[in-house]
């Protein structure tokens, strides 16, 4: 029996809708939202009906009805820390998402939309490998200040899928390998995967780790505290400096790697220095992850949108390929990962976890 699956993925400036028949992609549409489109809404929750309307329009324009689907699969929102895997969306999860007690992100709205559509069609709704998936070893939880505990918040969905795909390419089982996976996107996360579990990773959702196109990365603590108490910035402005206006945006005024590389080709030496510094910090984080795995690293995987940049991947490779072979998998595999794991659930290969 074949299964048709509706896939939803809400980003800050896009609503992605895909339809899979088993693992055959039928449509994959990303509707971009301009700053002007979103300026009418005061917060992400006001966007709910707008984005829900987009999903319904995409389905209608392509000849689908909600009753055509066996399940809906959605990129996970910010919920309490849980192990990775497939979870059924339920009232408790929706309650936690709406409360914002674990954070705010457009994926939260996506989860609520998916849940409502699922109830309307009377079909199950699942999330896969949510961004708060927590498999950290106990040593990784210590921050250095008793009141602060390190958290696991990263690009779980793409990291896990990239690791599985490379394992398959090597003819091995993901759960038998030690892999360092780097998601290179608007934010950057570097995960130490030990036999199928991410035992250490930088908190990319809060801006820790290497600086990235939009995030500041881990900062000199003393100078950061002085900025916070300088009286020049509000708490909201400081958070924006760390996430959204940090990294390449702070140094070069753009989050576009295409634009940065154009400047470099035009002879902008400062742009080249900043860009290489980003790659340098990524390489340093990979080195740290290698020590977590005690040097027993089968391979390193570079994935995400910025992995399309040969300039960045070459800079990283020349510093880390002494650790292990480097595999480059540009782009994001999120939609395929959602489809694959949802199909495994529908076919009874795995059980969906209750939140």
- Indicate the domain borders of the chain: 4-133+334-346, 138-324
Q: How high is the pLDDT of residue 12? A: 77
Q: How high is the pLDDT of residue 284? A: 98
19/196 Cα distance (integer angstroms): 28
Element (H, E) at 48: helix 48-61
Q: How high is the pLDDT of residue 224? A: 96
Q: How high is the pLDDT of residue 79? A: 94
192/26 Cα distance (integer angstroms): 34
Asked if 199 contacts 205 with a C-beta cutoff of 8 angstroms, the reply is no
Q: What is the per-residue pLDDT across 137-194, written as a single tens digit (0 to 9) for each?
A: 999 999 999 999 999 999 999 999 999 999 999 999 999 999 999 999 989 999 999 9
Same fold across 4-133+334-346 and 138-324: yes
Structure tokens, 33: 């939202």
Q: How high is the pLDDT of residue 9? A: 94
CATH topology of domain 138-324: Nucleotidyltransferase; domain 5 (3.30.420)
274/252 Cα distance (integer angstroms): 8
Q: How high is the pLDDT of residue 205? A: 83
Eight-class DSSP state of 68: G
CATH number of 4-133+334-346: 3.30.420.40
Q: How high is the pLDDT of residue 337? A: 92
18 bridge partner residues: 7, 28
Neighbours of 308 (CB within 10 A): 14
The parts of the chain modelled with pLDDT lower than 50 are none
């Amino acid at each position: 029996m074949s299964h048709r699956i509706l896939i939803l993925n809400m980003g800050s400036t896009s609503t992605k809708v895909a339809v899979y028949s088993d693992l055959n992609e039928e449509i994959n549409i990303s509707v971009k939202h301009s700053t002007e489109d979103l300026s009418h809404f005061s917060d992400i929750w006001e966007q709910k009906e707008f984005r829900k309307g987009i999903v319904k329009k995409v389905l209608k324009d392509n000849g689908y009805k909600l009753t055509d689907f066996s399940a809906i699969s959605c990129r996970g929102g910010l919920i309490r820390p849980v192990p990775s895997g497939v979870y059924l969306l339920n009232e408790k999860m929706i309650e936690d998402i709406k409360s914002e007690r674990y954070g705010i992100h457009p994926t939260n709205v996506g989860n609520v939309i998916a849940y409502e559509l699922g109830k309307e069609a009377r079909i199950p709704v699942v999330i896969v490998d949510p961004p708060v998936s927590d498999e950290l070893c106990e040593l990784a939880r210590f921050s250095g200040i008793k009141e602060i505990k390190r958290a696991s918040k990263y690009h779980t969905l793409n990291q896990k899928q990239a690791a599985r795909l490379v394992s398959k390419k090597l003819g091995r089982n993901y759960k038998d390998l030690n892999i360092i996976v780097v998601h290179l996107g608007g934010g950057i996360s570097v995960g130490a995967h030990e036999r199928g579990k991410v035992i250490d990773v930088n908190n990319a959702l809060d801006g820790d780790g290497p600086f990235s196109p939009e995030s500041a990365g881990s900062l000199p603590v003393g100078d950061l505290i002085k900025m916070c108490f300088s009286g020049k910035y509000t708490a909201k402005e400081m958070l924006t400096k760390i996430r959204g206006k940090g990294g390449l945006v702070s140094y070069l005024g753009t989050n576009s790697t295409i634009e940065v590389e154009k400047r470099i080709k035009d002879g902008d030496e400062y742009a080249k220095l900043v860009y290489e510094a980003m790659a340098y910090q990524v390489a340093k984080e990979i080195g740290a992850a290698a020590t977590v795995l005690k040097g027993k690293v089968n391979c390193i995987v570079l994935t995400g949108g910025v992995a399309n940049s040969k300039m960045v991947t070459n800079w990283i490779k020349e510093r880390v390929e002494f650790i292990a072979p480097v595999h480059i998998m540009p782009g994001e595999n999120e939609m395929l990962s959602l489809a694959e794991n949802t199909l495994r659930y529908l076919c009874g290969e795995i059980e969906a976890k209750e939140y």
